[in-house]
Amino acid sequence: MKGCYSKGGKIKPKTIHGLRTGQHNNPNVLRAARACGGGVMHKDGERPQYANGGRLNAAKRDALPAKDFAGPDRSYPINDANHARNALARASQHASPELQAKIKAKVSKKYPGIKQGG
């Protein structure tokens, strides 16, 4: 965010979302923050780092082998521990009991250290 400026001055990277208090509802400041790559920021002004590879975009998802998915039709990716935990959480919310059992089995086989609820 270095060098990014809004109409009111430089956007401070040490504030949440790069915005100062009282500017969160100002559309011009929000637009400027987005243009400068605004998003969730840590207190030191850096973007959070995602453990074990980070976010899974379409290209990365397409490159994953079929064994890195727990559900049908390449759904519920389990390429790393974070995605495996997410697959368990999403399955408990939306999947049928049969699919939940399948996902739990694949996750426990690949990541035996991940605790699973009832």
The model's pTM is 0.56
Element counts in the chain: helices (H) and strands (E) = 4, 2
pLDDT, position 55: 82
pLDDT in tens, the chain (118 residues): 444 544 455 554 445 455 555 555 666 666 666 665 555 444 444 445 554 457 888 999 999 999 999 999 999 999 999 999 999 999 999 999 999 999 999 999 999 999 887 6
Q: Which residue, 29, 23, 85, is CA-closest to 52?
A: 85
Question: Residue ranges per domain, the chain?
Answer: 1-48, 51-110
SS3 call for 10: strand
Q: What are residue 10's DSSP bridge partners?
A: 5
Q: Rounded CA gap, 114 and 70, in Å?
A: 15
Q: Which helix (H) or strand (E) holds 5?
A: strand 5-6
**Alpha carbon distance 57, 61 (integer Å):** 6
